[in-house]
Amino acid sequence: MSRLGVNIDHVATLRQARGEHYPSITEAARISLEAGADQITIHLREDRRHIQDPDVNAVKLVTQRYGKPLNLELGVDPGIIEIAVDTRPDWICIVPEKREERTTEGGLNLLDDENYQKVKAACEKFKKEIPGVKISLFVEADRKTLEKCVELNIDAVEIHTGDYAQAFLQDNPIEDFIERFRSEKEFIESKNIGYHAGHGLTDESLVPLAENKLFAEYNIGHWIICDAVFSGLESSVKKLIEVLESNK
């Protein structure tokens, strides 16, 4: 069965909106893991718009208690890199980041040599200074980009599913997305690199991906927290697990 990573960033978004100590990011991690999540994902942004520095260690303690991985998303800002080295998460997912964006807008541009060299240096530092860490890169399902990924010492790619998710929500055709995801899956898995997915997915848009057995792992956050407003966090996590279980 594909793994489910629950991104709890938007619990922190609610907390930061009022500068309070609630809702608790660690309680969100605990409930998600109790409900069956395979890992917890958080994104420590340079602008600190949701997750804060102390959250990283606090959430790691929760994941350790449950014997599950912490997946830390980050850009290649030197300060953030040092926090990751100090915290030693199980997984690090390197993502592009712009302060003016509402949310991550696409995958890493590894075809730009300056970007590529920054990502390469970060990967080398993580592998050297964090024993056993696994690294994924957040990228588009683009062959030239994936070929650049293969050159790096990484364990997985996480495919940006934002455009697919929008097409699904707008009732536009998704067949081309499915075919491209399948084609790039064959390529990247032939290189013994994991094939993950994330961004914009809901309980409904997850179904075609799960039915086609395209990805080994899905990281989902915004929909879970939105649905949890009405259904409760445990129920929302379990809805996604049911989709994955029914398409093993």
Per the structure, the count of domains in the chain is: 1
The token duo for 204 is: 């409904």
Task: Give the structural domain span for 35.
Answer: 3-245
- What one-character-per-residue DSSP string does 13-57 give? HHHHHHT-S-S-HHHHHHHHHHTT-SEEEEE--TT-SS--HHHHH
pLDDT at 72: 98
Quote the pLDDT of residue 248.
87
97 pLDDT above the threshold of 90: no
- pLDDT, mean of residues 172-179: 98
At 208, which CATH number? 3.20.20.70
Catalytic residues: 43, 73, 199
Query: Is the bond leading into 23 cis (omega within 30 degrees of zero)?
Result: yes
Question: What average pLDDT does this structure show over 76-82?
Answer: 96
How confident is the prediction for the chain on average, in pLDDT?
Answer: 96
R_g of the chain computed on alpha carbons: 17
Say what percent of the chain tops pLDDT 70.
Answer: 97
Question: What's the CA gap between 13 and 88, in Å, rounded?
Answer: 24
